[in-house]
Amino acid sequence: MSVPTPEQDAAFLAEYVDRCREVIRGLYAAQTAIGRLEGQAESADGLVWATADGQGRVTRLSINPRALRKNERELGREVTEVLQAAQNDAARQAREVVDKASSRADALPEPLDETFVRARGEQAIRDLM
């Protein structure tokens, strides 16, 4: 969006507001998407698997009874690795959603500042003279 002429101000502002609303809708959609995403991970042998939500909270952990044959240290390490991998997967997905939403927000033009308003006021005074 280029800087409007005085005659284009109303249309410029209407378009700017529409684009802002679109970005806000995108941010709400991103928030919803993050709330629904699910990171997943599984151990190499498939005996331990877990899921995590978009906030990184573990939502499920499943340990196949055959995994209980492992020694305590090995099973603990495996469970920890699977939980972390599920959280990392959820974080990766959330970053993708955030990056997409951020790129839309970055596309907004810079807001008009006081120098623009001052210049419009000075132009109006000159036009009156």
Q: Per the domain annotation, does 122 fall within a domain?
A: no
Residue 107's nearest CA partner among 38, 18, 7 is 18
Whether the pTM exceeds 0.85: the reply is no
Specify if 66 maps to a domain. Answer: yes
Per the structure, the complete domain to which residue 69 belongs is given by 38-108
For helices 9-36 and 72-106, give the axis angle rounded to 10 degrees: 170
The residue written with tokens 């906030």 in the block is 55
Q: What is the pLDDT along the chain (129 residues), one digit of tens a residue?
A: 566 777 887 888 888 888 888 888 989 999 999 999 999 999 999 999 999 999 999 999 999 999 999 999 999 999 999 999 999 999 999 999 999 988 887 777 777 777 877 887 888 788 887
Q: Domain total for the chain?
A: 1
Q: Which CATH number does the domain housing residue 53 bear?
A: 3.30.1310
Specify if 90 maps to a domain.
yes
**Residue linked to tokens 């941010």:** 27
Residue 83 lies in a domain: yes
Provide the 8-state DSSP code for 44: T
**Predicted local distance difference test score (pLDDT) of residue 2:** 65
CB 48 within 8 A of CB 62: yes
- pLDDT, residue 110, reads 74
Domain for residue 28, yes or no? no
Domain assignment present for 51: yes
CA separation for the pair 64, 68 (Å, rounded): 8
127 located within any domain: no
Q: Is residue 22 part of a domain?
A: no
